[in-house]
């Protein structure tokens, strides 16, 4: 496949005049061909008008046809072969094994959503039959189902070029629901984005669905993203990235004449609580797992364990010593791009100036700045210092973490109570620890989207039960997930029908349950006909 640097708008290649940029190999600093042009407001308008014109054709297509689209996208991605992996590796410096595994996750998500929509139980059909003889007033026939909302704008993540990007969860669940998608490609891997975008275009052609159901726009700055969010035809936005960038777009979405949902996943510090019983039993094993989680993917995960909390004790000191030993063995690795690496180095450098915060261990091997390499860095402090310094409450993206010692159980609970919203929190303990620290769990239930016992937040299982989100600022809306099949509910809304004849109702609400889906009929969950 030839990468052209063009935008893909409703099945057509569109070249743009204006400022250009290139993908960069972060490990070598080399610019990659070809040049990509920044999309214009006219490009955004064309893409969203095409999406809106395609909406009825996509949403009214049988679920089997939309499911076939998702499965064909998977086939087209796999058909790109090693060329796709090589381009992603060149643009991100992610190891080939990681690229291969993430491609598998993206393909698996295609199949997962295809299976979901064939059943149609996800649409949560509810049917309450009429009771015309009811006194003093007759009861009307009332039925409710989830329907797609319209064109969705997706911003892909820098750290997942396959699974949270052009063909990531946001795009797939929107298409599954029947919503056309306009993707703003991430400038850190534009060639990878174009290749996957072409796979989606090819899948639309093969399955006979409207070409305007998908468009891909390139851009290195903020202007095109703002134009997409502001456009009156955009009905929802999905974003994965920094708090600063996400909040800016969130404010744009809220300031529109007709505000729209903005589903932002914006990262967190993902605190890990190591309780006394667990430290006594397995401090060394926990420390090894901790460093493995901190350095997974060069620390470039939104669920990276950036803070560890434990009671000041010989066991916690042992945990710190073992973690420092493992950190020293970690070889520096190239980050996704030079900008992320510079931010990481400046962020951890600023930490070294904070009184009471000490560097406990770091990669023994030197970094190669020209290769955008980051060293693992582990710091120690006390809970008091952690609580007094606002800059320590914000994520520094990369393979670093802080271990903080508290003087009492009450101090640990006070820290947890003051936490901002988080994507994850982990508790390492014994059953006795859980009994003694039961209030900690109650606190975290109000602060966190996913609570992990004796594990770490990195390595998300893509499944129906997964919730990847949390209270602000971890995410813009704690009710919704950006990973797993429940993510589809971001792009649908309930519509209620009262008194309609059967033939005029959506299929999911008709008397005949042709798909044998689960429906709530007169208060009873059943697969029967209505």
Active site positions, annotated:
265, 302
CB atoms within 10 A of CB 327: 26
| Cα–Cα distance, 205 to 53 (Å, whole number) | 17
Phi, psi for residue 287 in degrees, rounded to 5: -65, -40
245 CB contacts (<8 Å, ≥6 apart)? 222, 239
- 3-class SS shares of the chain: helix, strand, coil, % to 5: 45, 20, 35
Would you state the structure tokens that stand for residue 221, as one six-digit string? 């700055």
The total number of residues written for the chain in this structure: 530
CA distance 212 to 259: 24
Q: What does the DSSP 8-state code read for residue 503?
A: G
Are the CB atoms for 267 and 470 separated by under 8 Å?
no
Helix (H), strand (E), coil (C) string for 173-226: HHHHHCCCEEEECCCCCHHHHHHHHHHHHHHHHHHCCCHHHEEEECCCCCHHHH
């Amino acid at each position: 496949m030839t990468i052209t640097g063009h935008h893909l708008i409703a099945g057509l290649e569109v070249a743009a005049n204006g400022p250009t940029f290139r993908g960069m190999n972060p490990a070598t600093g080399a610019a990659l061909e070809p040049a990509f042009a920044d999309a214009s407001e006219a490009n955004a308008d064309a893409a969203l008008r095409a999406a809106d014109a395609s909406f009825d054709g996509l949403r009214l297509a049988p679920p089997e046809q939309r499911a076939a689209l998702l499965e064909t996208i998977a086939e087209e991605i796999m058909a790109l072969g090693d060329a796709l992996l090589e381009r992603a590796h060149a643009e991100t410096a992610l190891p080939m094994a990681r690229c291969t595994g993430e491609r598998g996750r993206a393909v698996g998500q295609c199949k997962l959503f295809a299976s979901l929509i064939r059943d149609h139980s996800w649409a949560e059909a509810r049917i309450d039959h009429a009771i015309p003889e009811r006194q003093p007033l007759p009861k009307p026939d009332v039925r409710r189902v989830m329907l797609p909302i319209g064109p969705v704008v997706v911003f892909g993540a820098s750290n997942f070029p396959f699974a949270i990007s052009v063909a990531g969860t946001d795009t797939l669940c929107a298409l599954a629901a029947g919503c056309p998608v306009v993707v703003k490609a991430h400038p850190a891997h534009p060639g990878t984005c174009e290749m996957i975008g072409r796979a989606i275009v090819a899948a639309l052609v093969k399955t006979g669905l409207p070409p305007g159901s998908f468009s891909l726009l390139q851009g290195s700055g903020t202007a095109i993203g703002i134009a997409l969010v502001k456009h009156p035809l955009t009905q929802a936005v999905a974003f994965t990235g920094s708090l600063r960038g996400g909040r800016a777009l969130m404010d744009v979405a809220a300031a529109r004449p007709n505000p729209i949902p903005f589903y932002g996943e914006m990262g967190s510090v993902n605190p890990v609580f190591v309780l006394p019983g667990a430290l006594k039993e397995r401090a060394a094993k926990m420390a090894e797992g901790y460093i493995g989680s901190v350095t997974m993917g060069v620390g470039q995960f939104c669920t990276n364990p950036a803070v560890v909390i434990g009671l000041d004790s010989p066991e916690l000191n042992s945990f710190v010593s073992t973690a420092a030993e493992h950190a020293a063995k970690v070889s520096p690795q190239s980050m996704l791009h030079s900008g992320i690496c510079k931010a990481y180095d400046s962020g951890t450098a600023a930490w070294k100036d904070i009184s009471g915060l000490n560097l406990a261990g770091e990669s023994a091997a030197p970094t190669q700045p020209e290769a955008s390499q980051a060293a693992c860095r582990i710091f120690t402090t006390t809970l008091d210092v952690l609580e007094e310094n606002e800059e320590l409450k914000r994520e520094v993206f990369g393979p670093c973490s802080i271990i903080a010692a508290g003087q009492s159980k009450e101090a640990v609970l006070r820290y947890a109570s003051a936490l901002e919203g988080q994507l994850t929190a982990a508790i390492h303990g014994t059953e006795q620890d859980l009994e003694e620290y039961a209030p900690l769990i109650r606190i975290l239930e109000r602060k966190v989207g996913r609570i992990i016992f004796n594990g770490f937040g990195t390595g998300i299982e893509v499944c129906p039960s997964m919730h990847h989100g949390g209270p602000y600022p971890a995410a813009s809306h704690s009710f919704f997930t950006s990973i797993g099949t429940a993510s589809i509910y971001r792009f649908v809304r309930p519509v209620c029908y009262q008194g309609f004849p059967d033939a005029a109702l959506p299929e999911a609400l008709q008397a005949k349950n042709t798909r044998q889906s689960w429906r709530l009929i007169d208060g009873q969950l059943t697969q029967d006909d209505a």
